[in-house]
Structure 1
Amino acid sequence: MELHVEALFTHDRNMRLRTINEPWPGETPAPQFFLGRTVEGTTVCRFRYDLPEQLVEQMKLLCADEPLVTDFRTKPKHLTSYMRLLQGERFTMGPCFLIPREAEPTMQVVSVTRENMLNYLHGGFEWLISEIDYAQPCIALVIGNRAVSICRSVRITSRAHEAGLETLETFRGRGYAAEVVAGWAKAVREVGAIPLYSTFWENSASQSVARKLALNFYGVNFTIL
């Protein structure tokens, strides 16, 4: 969970959240609050730099009282208090997974780079061309010389990468997403980092990929915007 939050957001010297850690140019403010609950019962909490210290200390006490999680659909014990204290309007939540070494693609996948991107990024993935140098590794499954499913690094630190997964709508439901995630994880390990995969609690398609690859569930992330 420490690796996960480190990959998701930039932090200042006091470990306060600053921005979303997107690898491409531009800055998006971080949420007010991040809570990571784990299957071991530990919690990781982070707060945006502009929250008052007294409020932060109050919330830390609540975070320490969160139980372990076994079901990613279980909301935080102190959800109501968090929302009230931060005057939050909405929250996000979802399961977090480690991709094991055993995850291997069974279909042919390719690495997409600046050198070969024009061969593959057409017919639906043109938008990725401007980001290709930043979101590496980028692994694709190609049908008819056209990328139809892609997994790439969308949050990057020296220790861990977070997966970003996209499959063209007409090619969904064929198992391609699991193939590119497995190929991407292998490429991330080859550069010496740990491949992490997370999604939202309502994204059943992404959860299906996690089940197919038997990813290791380690906790649930929760943010208040």
Structure 2
Amino acid sequence: MKSELHLMEMHSKVLFKHNEKGKITHINEPPYDIAPRFYIGSTREGNVIKYLDCLNEEDLSILEKVLNENSSVPFVNILQILSKNNQIDDLWIGPAYVFEQVSEVSPRAVKINNSNKQCLLPNFPYTYDELELKEPCYAIIENNIAVSICCSARQTDEASEASVYTLEDFRGKEYGVIVSKAWAADIQSQGRIALYSTSWDNYASQAVARKLKLVHYGTDIHFS
């Protein structure tokens, strides 16, 4: 398996579009909103730090100084620096996981393509509209309608990030686990890394990660 720091670097490239200088510009997912002003991917081996390309030079210089002087993430200092000229509208913190090699896939997970994607329309119209960008996509289908899906939220040539959702009436049946394993196995068969991340307050998503026995390699921190 890749090192934690390498995984986090790959993860940051899946999450955001970068310019030629390595700064982040936009979220790597339609409608391609502007990236957060500052991002830290924290691991036990070190941090992956990304700055928004239009962050002013004064804030950039102060942030770099503060980060160099602290071994842990100095949240209060970062918030003070970034909120000096512009309000912080959102602070995202959550775990980042990687799938180990998937060996078994349930036949209940159906791969979605142009021939059967109509099953997505009732409950997952956005996935239907953007299927080409979100492939591979796997679903549990009941009465010809998808009730649980896992697809690619964001991806690069090296890695892909899972997006999994099960309708409330169908939870508790391991459907999220089934489709996630099928998705991850497909990604791995392409020679790519299957990733999964969520926020600390998304308990349902973290429960799926536990059931999948994913490896927790780091923490995402976004300041927007």
1:13-52 map, 5 Å = 13-22=20-29, 24=30, 26-40=31-45, 42-52=46-56
Displacement of 1:150 in angstroms is: 0.4
Displacement of 1:107 in angstroms is: 5.2
Find the aligned partners of 1:79 and 1:103 in 2 and give their Cα distance: 40
Displacement of 1:172 in angstroms is: 1.4
With the length of structure 1 as denominator, give the TM-score of the two structures.
0.88
With the length of structure 2 as denominator, give the TM-score of the two structures.
0.88
Paired position in structure 1 for 2:82: 86
2:96 is the alignment partner of 1:96: yes
SS state of the match for residue 133, structure 2?
coil
Runs of 4+ in 1 over 6 A off after TM superposition: none
Displacement of 1:181 in angstroms is: 0.8
Please list the CA deviations of residues 60-86 of structure 1 after superposition, one character each: whole Å capped at 9, or x if unmatched.
34334344xxxxxxxxx4111111101
Task: Give the 3 Å change call, closer, same or farther, for CA 85–170 of structure 1 in structure 2.
Answer: same
1:6 maps to amino acid: K
Displacement of 1:143 in angstroms is: 2.2
Structure 2 spans left out of the alignment, 5+ residues: 1-7
Displacement of 1:128 in angstroms is: 2.3
1:54-69 map, 5 Å = 54-64=58-68, 65-67=70-72
Find the aligned partners of 1:183 and 1:191 in 2 and give their Cα distance: 13
Task: Give the 3 Å change call, closer, same or farther, for CA 121–57 of structure 1 in structure 2.
Answer: same
Aligned partners of 1:111 and 1:137 also within 8 Å = yes
Task: Give the 3 Å change call, closer, same or farther, for CA 66–176 of structure 1 in structure 2.
Answer: farther
Displacement of 1:109 in angstroms is: 0.6
2:95 maps to amino acid: P
Cα RMSD, aligned residues only: 1.6
| Percent identity for Structure 1 against Structure 2 | 33
Of Structure 1 and Structure 2, which has the larger fraction of its residues in helix? Answer: 2
Task: Give the 3 Å change call, closer, same or farther, for CA 128–59 of structure 1 in structure 2.
Answer: same
Find the aligned partners of 2:53 and 2:121 in 1 and give their Cα distance: 41
Displacement of 1:213 in angstroms is: 1.0
Please list the CA deviations of residues 150-177 of structure 1 after superposition, one character each: whole Å capped at 9, or x if unmatched.
0101111000101111111211122111
Displacement of 1:122 in angstroms is: 4.2
2:12 is the alignment partner of 1:5: yes
Paired position in structure 2 for 1:72: none
Please list the CA deviations of residues 93-122 of structure 1 after superposition, one character each: whole Å capped at 9, or x if unmatched.
10000011046334521111122211x224
Displacement of 1:54 in angstroms is: 3.6
Structure 1 spans left out of the alignment, 5+ residues: 68-76
SS state of the match for residue 132, structure 2?
coil
